[in-house]
Every structure is written in structure tokens, then in C-alpha cells.
Structure 1
Amino acid sequence: MKKIFPILLVLTSLVFGENQSQLRLHVLFTNEINGAIHQVPARFMNPEYPPMLTGGAGAYHYVKTIREEQSGPVLLLDGGNFFQGSPLGTHDGGKTIIRWMNWMKYDALVPGVFDFILGINSLSSTALTADFPFLGANIMDDISGEQPAFVKPYILKKYEDITVGIIGLTTPNIVDEILPKNIQGLSFQSPLEVVDHWVKAVKNDGADIVIILTNLGLPYDREDRFDEFAEQVNNVEAEDLKSEELNALVLAHYAHGVDIIVTGGVSKGYDTPWIDPDTHTLVVQNYGNITGIGHIELLIDTKTKSLSGYEYPTDRGMMITLLKDDAPADPVMADSIANWVKNVTSSFKPTIPDIDKANHESAPIFEYPYDNFEIPVLGNEKSLDIMTWNLEWFPAAGDTTIEYVSEVLHDLNLDIIGLQEIKNMGWFGKLMDLIPEYGFVMSQQSSFMHQAILYRKSLISVIDYHEPFAMDDYFYAGRPPLLVNFAFNDGKSSKPITVVNLHLKCCGDGLYRRQRSLEWLHDYLIEYMDVGHDDIIVLGDLNDQLDDDPIIQSFYPFLDDPQHFYFVTEEIHLDPAQASYPTWPSFLDHIIIGKGFFDDHKQSGSIQTVQIDDYVGSWELYESTMSDHLPVLWSITYK
């Protein structure tokens, strides 16, 4: 039935035709804009010779053209995650992106997970600058028990004799994905528990057509995921579904009385809508990063006041890729966006970090609560100890992972720790609550898996941080480098040091991307050295081995420049006992030092893979609760 139903809808639209009893409603939709309204190369089409995407200026031209040239009203909606992912978005909490959305004349937005990344106060302040409402019927203020002031549960739009109700339902997974302090005071109800209530409410308020605007997401493999859901649906009540199993497919199955769901939450666009075989609810989703704009034409029978069909704007379907031929850039909008980008990125020019701007934090006195293992102390007060650790899909085992990883980090007693593959920032916040001797800087621009750098508050302070190449991060697989400038105080004086945390692309076209990404990073760090700042450390999961043939690895920009950089992991990478990825014995996690540390390393430096599996009793326990990577530790003694 789900294959037949789309055909029936389109055939129905042909029967009605363009006549007085039919309203054609153009629904245009975006999601996962991620602050990327600037023009960027479409490297996903051709990494070496990419065509240019016209971005927000192309979207503006397309929407303006539809409004001017097409019959029927236009409804423009966004499925959330509108500003995180680009410095253009995060530098002012999304206000620049809202300024663009105001010019676009959006009708509504539902906040997504990463719209809360800078906190409730920031998001509510940004919402005040919007000329359109933020919708979130399932976002609740813990004190009032109502929606917070910056969202509405739904809106009504009147088109001739047809009233369209638009309900906002965001994902409850926000509590796992966002640091707890940034959503303190809010609760997020399950959409499945409240959808019937709000559909009834909006219909009682006069809605003929019901649209849900959500951030639940259509999965990449929607057919397979629905089949998996269908197998269990008869045995599991809706309220018993785990939050990670909840997506827009599931919502559509329970959304009786809903005509169409416009969703964000996943950057995968579909040319055709998903149609639930039982409720017949349509579900649409656009590609992310404003690489395109979604467009579906709803055909509404004005006599029965019901959806009679739908059509596409092109033979290709709903997705309009914002290439120059399809969506040329509006010149005025393009100039405005280019100026915004210039103003934001001008501050990223490498300079010597100013230690007078360091933000000093006090280290609390506390009693650590766990003692499961005999973890040795590897750091000491006379050395600078820096470690990199891929935490593999953190937290792999929920609360157990939090407990074990916190114990390892507390007991090792190190100074700086670069972490990769943090899936859930909410859980990461729980980890940091257990080790308050450390502060942290977390990536703000990553689209898949986050990086963080921990630092010991008693010795180290943050000067500033940013994520180079976040404006064009294809080669970094949506995980631009996290660069933090620290002030390191050895008790006698302070000096600036720069730490760069990387998690490079593996598999598929990963080699080409890793090669380009390290070329870019090398040249960027050389600019720091050119102005006199040499105390640089690059660490992370680089997904290549030093002993690989140069043709099939990515390290040559740094290996071919021994005057400026040195792989300290070169000293242990051939020792099988030191493999950082033991499951397939290999050395993928590395530390590179800049020339400012050459003498210190020569005199007192040491490098080792930390055998945590031995400390906790077995590889099986370690891999199932913490990671499949072992951390790598570099130490130097103070002068």
C-alpha cells in the first residue's frame, strides 16, 4: 500500500486539475542549515573540481521567484539546527542566521538539538529577533509547566477558505545531546505522548490541514528502518519505545489526522516523500547545510477541505539543489552574506596568543567517589602530560562508561587530554561533573561526533579557541579541528601553547579527505610559526599509520617538514605492544609537536600507549565499556 498510495495521490491531483475547487499550497522547507548560508564548493559532488553552491543567496532567489511566479500561496518552514556548525552562526548565537531567515520571510521554525548548544538564554534572545515564531509544543518549562516564552505550541495560517495548522514537536533526545547546564529548567516530552492532544487542539481551533514541524529526522535508510520498526510495532506500545528509536517515520505511524510532517534532524534529503502505510501521513526532509531547498506542492480540495494530492516542482522530485543554473545567487543577498562572513572570519588570523587574556579558574577540593580499579598515576607536578583518547561512540555503556572513564581520567592525573568521538554531549556533561579538577573546551561546529580538550585548572587556563575550516569542512568530514590556545603556568611563569584536536575521516574516500585536511592544517599552523608562535601540539585519531606507504597515507605535509614538526609517536609506532588500535593491530592515534617543543622532547620527552585494558583487568571489559582505541600519552619535564 505504501507504494501505491503516492500514485493514488498524484492521480487524484490530475483528476481535480487546476480549478476553483483546488488550492495549490507550495511548501518550501529547509533543515540543518547549520549556519552555512555562505557560498561553498559542492565538494560532495566533485572533491577536486567542485561546482559552487549559491547558499543562502540562491535560496533567497529561488523562494522569491516562487512567490512571484507561481499560483497559490507559499509556506516556508525550517526543521531546526539552524545556526550551529559554522562560526557565522555561532558567533552571535544564531542572530545573523535569523536576520537572513527574516529576509527570506520564513513562516515558522522548530528548534533542533543543536539550537540549544549555547544555552536557553542565548536561544530565547535569538528567538526575540525573529519575525516568525519558534514552535515547540513538547518543550516545557519545569516551573510553569507550560511552554517557555520563546516558543509557541502551534500557529494557524489562513489561505482563502483553508486553515492550515502547524504544530512544533522537537526531539526529546536533546537531553542526551546537549550539556545539562544549557537546558537546565526545561523538559522535553515525547512527541508520541502529546501528538494526539495537539492535533485535536489545532483542529478545534479551526485547522483543516495539519502539518507537524519536527526535528525527529528521517533516517538515511528509511525503508529498512521502517521495516525494523514494523516488526516490533505489534509488540511494543508507543510509550515504551526508546528515545533513540523515535524518528519521523515512527511519529507518522502514530500521527492520526496529520497530513504532512516536515522534519529536520538528519542531513539526508529525499526527492520523494515517505508515506506511512496506515495513516497516509507524508514525511519530507531536505538536505543539510542549505545545499538545497525542499519544495512540494500540496493540492487541497477546497470543498472537502482535505489534501487531495501533491506534485513536484521538477521531474527530479522535491529537492532543488542550489547550484548556479538552478538557483542563481541574488546579488544583494550574496554581498550581504559575504560581508558577514568577512567580519566573522577576520578574527581567525593566526597571532601569538595573548596570555593576559587567559581565563583563570579555581580547582575545587573534592573527594572522588569511585575506586573500581588500580589505575597508576602517570602525571606528576614536574611534567607537562598530554594524552589523546578516542572514546568510541561515547558513552558506549551509558552510566558504566561515565563511571569508568572518569576514574581513569582522575587517577592518571594528566594536564591536557584530547578526546574524540563524543556522541552525546549530555552524557559528557555527566562525566565532567565527576572530575571538577578539569575544565574543558568542546567543539561547537561538528556535525557528527564531537571533540573536547580537557585541561587541569590548577596549571592551565584558556586564552581562546576556534575551529579552523568550519566554513568549509568537507575534508574534515564535518569535524573541523578544535584549536585551543592555552596559558600554561609551571608555577614560575606562564607561556602560551596551542593544542589542536583532530578526528579525521576513515574509510570510503577517507584517504583523499585526510590528505587534503592535513595539507590545509599544516599550512595554517605554519602561519602561527611565521608570527613567532612555535609551541604547538597536534593530537587525535588521524586514521593513518606512519609505516604505510606515503602514497596511501596522509602525513606527508608534516613528515616532509621536519624543521617545524615532529611525530613523537614515530618512536613507538612499530612496536606491536604499543598499538593504539589493538583489534586490528595498528597505530592510528598520534601526537605531533611543533618546533617550540623540540628541545624539551629531546631532553626529557617520553611517549607511550596507555594500557588501560591491563589496569581494568581485560580487553573485553575495556572495549565493551570504554573504547576500542587505547590512549597515547606524551610527557616532558619542565625546565
Structure 2
Amino acid sequence: MKKKYSYALLILLFALFFSSCGENQSLTPPDVETNILKFGTDYTLDIVTWNLQLFPLNDNTIDLLVDIIPQMEVEIFALQEIMEPYKLHELASRLPDYEALVYNAGTSWCLGYLYDASKVELKNEYTIYAGMGRPFPRPPYVLRMGYEDEEYYIINNHFKALGDNYIDEDDPWDEEMRRREASTLLETYISTNLSDKRVVMLGDLNDQIQEPRETNVFLPFLDKPEEYLFTTMPIAQNPTYYTVSYPTYLSIIDHILITNELFDDFEDAGEVCRVILVENILGGYNNYLNLISDHRPVGIRLNTPQ
């Protein structure tokens, strides 16, 4: 009886083998994204903050960015450390569809924007708190813009650097005190003038947002979670070498904050906020450090009406 079952099994296996070999199977390889720098999508507003250290850092920086920026497919770049403003305009002139804005072309350490003029409508640009050098070594630079029939306000910042991770209440020029004052003034400006607007506040804020209350300079925003969201918080709470914007100190000090008018847009876009590893096309971080910046770009996606 066992022998009969063995013969039957052999016949079945042969039948299956030959039937499966009767014709070639069509195999379609999965789609593979070959552009490793791509961040933006066709259905989101994509915004990046990027400290372009001492721009242009060297003679090759602009040529490299001419190749890099279009691959990222981003509508708005908020930039810090523009040392030669006319060079940013030169960069824009070599980028299809992009235009440049710099808030004070007569000085260095400027804030600026690159934006895709084929998609973004420039409505206004201005600085706030000009002349208040203690909280704002660089006055915040506001871009009022339109995209897909919606209006947005982008507030670009570069806070005071350095410090000792201690807020010295007795020293108004203490670095942490200056950053805390900047946060307080920005929150006041937004809540007073842009209370019902779509606002993105971003830039090199030179401090960490996940610190305890006694050393945290961002409490004016963090204490109002129903009104503001640091989209960079998950990175700050779980930093790794490949997720932080400032890997020299394994920290993220370049941040993006949104107001509650954008909470749903951020969620609907997949809650994407991350660094973009430009070094991956330059042979590693050390090359990126010498050619572009010591800061990585940080981007956010926002869903838009379809």
C-alpha cells in the first residue's frame, strides 16, 4: 500500500514540475527610486531649512548646489549664513525656476530664501524685530507666499550660538537667555499678528528642544502644544548619527515648528520631517563638511488641497 502511494506522489510531483515549466513567467522588477536626494513629492508643499555654512564655503560650493538642489524637488529653502548675498542670486540664476531673496544684502551672516517661482507665489517679504540685536543677532525674515490657493507665512531664523547649557537669569546677554527671549518674542509675534494663519517657523535655532524645563529655551512654544508643534521633536528625542542635523555633536539644532492651522496638513502628508543626507552623493560626511556645510538640511512635507 505504501509503494502505491509513493508512485502516486512521484507522478504528482512530475506533473507539477512540467506544468510549472510550461511557459516563462513575466517578472516585473519593483520600482526603485534612483534619486537618493529626492525629498519633495508632487502632492505636498516641501520646505527645507539649511544652514549653508559661510556660503559659499569654497569655490566648488555653488557648482555642487546647482546639481544638488534640483534633485531635492523642494519648493522653498530657508537658508542661513549667507556671507555673500550676490552669490546666492548667482546660484538662483543657474537653477531652473528658482529665485533668491536675501534680507540685508549689504551685510554678511544673512538669512535668505530660494523658492521655486513656477509653483510658489511671492506675496511679501520683510523682517521683524529689526534693531533688537540681543535676542536676534539676525532679524527674523518672514516670507508671505501662496501655494495651491493657500497662503503661508515662513519665518526664517538664526538664533545666537554657543552657551553653557545654563540659563543665567541675572545676565541678559547670556546666550541661553538671548535664545529664550527670542522664542518669547517670536511666539508673541505669531499669536498677535498671525493667530489664524498657516505659519512655519524654522531655522538654525542653536539649541535643543527636548531638554528639561530648567535649561529649555523654547518653553514659550512647548507650553502651548494645542497651538504649536515642533516637527523635529521625534528626531530630538531619539537622535542617531544619521538623523541629526548637526552630527559633530550628535544633536539637532535646526528646527521646524508649525502652528495648529497646519497640524492636519502635516499629519495627512505622513508626518514627514527628516534630515536629507546630501553627503551620500559626495563620498561621506567629511567631504560634505569641507564642500557644503557642517549642518545637514532638514525638510518637512505639508499636504495641500488637490
Query: What is the TM-score with the length of structure 2 in the denominator?
Result: 0.80
Cα separation, partners in 2 of 1:587 and 1:473, compared to 1, 3 Å: same
Residue 395 (str. 1) matches residue 56 (str. 2): yes
What is the RMSD computed on CA atoms of the aligned residues? Answer: 1.8
- Cα separation, 2, equivalents of 1:472 and 1:627: 28
What is residue 466 of structure 1 aligned with on the other side?
126
Q: Secondary structure at the match of 1:476?
A: coil
Cα separation, partners in 2 of 1:447 and 1:518, compared to 1, 3 Å: farther
- Cα separation, 2, equivalents of 1:474 and 1:513: 6
- Cα separation, 2, equivalents of 1:544 and 1:606: 21
Equivalent residues in 2 for 1:298-313 (5 A)?
none
Q: Which runs of 5+ in 1 are unaligned?
A: 1-372
- Cα separation, 2, equivalents of 1:548 and 1:615: 33
Contact 2:239 2:251 in 1 (8 A): no
Equivalent residues in 2 for 1:254-293 (5 A)?
none
- Cα separation, 2, equivalents of 1:376 and 1:390: 17
**Can you list the C-alpha shifts for 1:432-451, whole angstroms capped at 9, x where unaligned?**
12114112221128854011
C-alpha displacement of 1:403: 0.8
Kindly provide the amino acid, as one letter, of the partner of residue 39 in structure 2: L
Give the counterpart of 1:444 among 80, 90, 104: 104
Contact 1:511 1:554 in 2 (8 A): yes
**Can you list the C-alpha shifts for 1:188-214, whole angstroms capped at 9, x where unaligned?**
xxxxxxxxxxxxxxxxxxxxxxxxxxx
Contact 2:80 2:157 in 1 (8 A): yes
Residue 378 (str. 1) matches residue 69 (str. 2): no
**447-456 vs 607-616, which moves further:** 447-456
- Cα separation, 2, equivalents of 1:514 and 1:575: 22
Residue 631 (str. 1) matches residue 283 (str. 2): no
Equivalent residues in 2 for 1:483-502 (5 A)?
483-489=142-148, 494-502=149-157
Contact 1:391 1:421 in 2 (8 A): yes
- Cα separation, 2, equivalents of 1:374 and 1:599: 28
Give the counterpart of 1:570 among 230, 233, 236: 233
Contact 2:245 2:253 in 1 (8 A): yes
Contact 1:446 1:480 in 2 (8 A): no
Residue 511 (str. 1) matches residue 176 (str. 2): yes
- Cα separation, 2, equivalents of 1:467 and 1:529: 14
Kindly provide the amino acid, as one letter, of the partner of residue 390 in structure 1: N
C-alpha displacement of 1:374: 5.9
Equivalent residues in 2 for 1:135-534 (5 A)?
375-398=36-59, 400-444=60-104, 448-477=108-137, 479-489=138-148, 494-508=149-163, 509-530=174-195, 532-533=196-197
**Can you list the C-alpha shifts for 1:230-272, whole angstroms capped at 9, x where unaligned?**
xxxxxxxxxxxxxxxxxxxxxxxxxxxxxxxxxxxxxxxxxxx
Contact 1:374 1:616 in 2 (8 A): no
**Can you list the C-alpha shifts for 1:388-424, whole angstroms capped at 9, x where unaligned?**
10011111112x0001122211111101111101111
C-alpha displacement of 1:454: 1.7
Contact 2:89 2:99 in 1 (8 A): no
Give the counterpart of 2:262 among 597, 617, 624: 597
What is residue 549 of structure 1 aligned with on the other side?
212
Contact 1:445 1:467 in 2 (8 A): no
Q: Secondary structure at the match of 1:519?
A: helix
Query: What is the TM-score with the length of structure 1 in the denominator?
Result: 0.39
Contact 2:37 2:276 in 1 (8 A): no
- Cα separation, 2, equivalents of 1:422 and 1:635: 24
Q: Secondary structure at the match of 1:575?
A: coil
Aligned residue pairs: how many? 259
Residue 587 (str. 1) matches residue 264 (str. 2): no
Kindly provide the amino acid, as one letter, of the partner of residue 512 in structure 1: M
Contact 1:374 1:615 in 2 (8 A): no
Kindly provide the amino acid, as one letter, of the partner of residue 510 in structure 1: E
C-alpha displacement of 1:617: 1.6
- Cα separation, 1, equivalents of 2:108 and 2:86: 15
- Cα separation, 1, equivalents of 2:194 and 2:285: 41
Contact 1:468 1:482 in 2 (8 A): yes
What is residue 561 of structure 1 aligned with on the other side?
224
Q: Which runs of 5+ in 2 are unaligned?
A: 1-33, 164-173
Contact 1:445 1:470 in 2 (8 A): no
Contact 2:84 2:108 in 1 (8 A): no
Cα separation, partners in 2 of 1:622 and 1:565, compared to 1, 3 Å: same
C-alpha displacement of 1:428: 1.7
Q: Secondary structure at the match of 2:135?
A: helix
What is residue 111 of structure 1 aligned with on the other side?
none
What is residue 5 of structure 2 aligned with on the other side?
none
Contact 1:440 1:454 in 2 (8 A): yes
Contact 1:379 1:413 in 2 (8 A): yes
Give the counterpart of 1:616 among 258, 282, 306: 282
Contact 2:39 2:276 in 1 (8 A): no
**Can you list the C-alpha shifts for 1:525-560, whole angstroms capped at 9, x where unaligned?**
001344x32x00011000111222222231111111
- Cα separation, 1, equivalents of 2:295 and 2:257: 18
**Which one has a bigger Cα radius of gyration?**
1
